[in-house]
Amino acid sequence: MKIEKKYLMIILLFLGYLIVFIDKTVIGLAMIKIEQEFSLTPKEFGYITGVFFLSYSMFQIPAGWLNDRIGYKKVLILSLTLLGSFAICFGAIGFSFGLLLSFRFLSGIGHSGYPCSCAKAVSSNFVVEERTFAQSVLLSSSGVAMIVGPIAVGYLLNTIGWRGSFSWLGIIAFSIAILIWLLVPNPEKTVFTKQDSKSPYLALLKNPVIILLFIAVFGVNIPAYGLMAWLPKYLMQSRGLDLEWAAYILSIGGLSQWLSSLASGWFVGRYMQDREHLVICISSLIAAFCIWMVYFSPNIVLAIVFLFIAYIFLMMSFVTSFTLPMKRLPQNVIGSAMGLINTGGTLGGFISPIIIGYLVSSSNNTMSGDFAMAFAFLSSGMLLSALVALPLKKKPVTANV
């Protein structure tokens, strides 16, 4: 692929990723309005935010397999089309707890194909030395989503409401899907051998690198999505802030994620080749400490500082973990491998909001009480990631995985 087309592709995939992350990021803010409208309990609050990741997890592996079979472009378009459809349904006809739950579950199906298809696109069009940075640019969209999303959606929630906000989100997703269809070149067809026609997952499941990265990404996404869902509620209930200030603080966290994504890709690619396990371990430990200190900080300014630092090192751990397979696995199984690894991440996103809902409910049913156990749980995810990173010291993977 010509260099101009490669970077146009990255721009379009970035825009799609931006919508994917905004949909996941702003649900915590939107749920405050939804909770008020439907008088949701903390457990119901957790289920709506968590069930999305259940379907996301269930369809990661099929989506990865589909990428390897029909090509990343078709899966990208399908993912954004489904995401847009169910975002509109969530806003337009979500008139009961059951419907809200159903549409967030279905939305997770749409999301499931996007990360692995982007990874497949990067792996197919960039040489090994360029892949970490190219992927980190795409993953930096999570930070941009957290900068732009909370402020924009915070404004929209107060003007057109949560229903209109999700409807517009769906329309934008459709628009980007059309741009990808028109402007992203079709990938080269992969020729499969008889051996390739067999499911690669049995071989992948025997690969210790895959298993360790599955657990590492699972651990990182416990605080990543737990904070995404519950931080606005915590800031309003325990720190006494209003919705507008909660949105601004989320944006500050997004800024740190964006900066960390770009810096991590450059730093690891240039200085830490074959020492990625140390990056994941050390950054996870720092993030775990800072997340815990968000809760213990005596004032909101210090809490924001620790939150900023926590997001920097959380994102460094995630980017390093998520780009490592591109360096160690053959291209013909990248889609399947990334789908499998990201299943670990989405499972973390599934259990985290729900467990926090139970932890908060058990301490105080009015949700105005102590979040100590919730923050301990969030920190434990990063500790898990640090622990499993140590055995990831480079051991070259053969072409047959």
Q: Are 367 and 39 in contact, with CB atoms under 8 Å apart?
A: no
pLDDT band at 149 (very low <50, low <70, confident <90, very high): confident
367, pLDDT greater than 50: no
201, pLDDT greater than 70: no
Domain 1-184 has CATH 1.20.1250.20: yes
pLDDT band at 400 (very low <50, low <70, confident <90, very high): very low
Alpha-helical regions (H) of 126-207: 128-139, 141-159, 161-183, 201-205
Helix (H, G, I), strand (E, B) or coil at 316: helix
Between 76-90, 167-181, 248-262, the lowest mean confidence (pLDDT) is in: 248-262
What pLDDT sits at residue 395? 56
* Domain covering 199-395 in this structure, CATH number: 1.20.1250.20
Amino acid making up residue 382: M
* Domain 1-184 shares a fold with domain 199-395: yes
pLDDT band at 123 (very low <50, low <70, confident <90, very high): confident
What pLDDT sits at residue 80? 96
Distance CA 209, CA 289 (A): 26
Place of tokens 């998520």: 322
The arithmetic mean of pLDDT across residues 169-180, rounded, is: 95
Model pTM above 0.75 = no
Distance CA 245, CA 154 (A): 10
Domain ranges in the chain are 1-184, 199-395
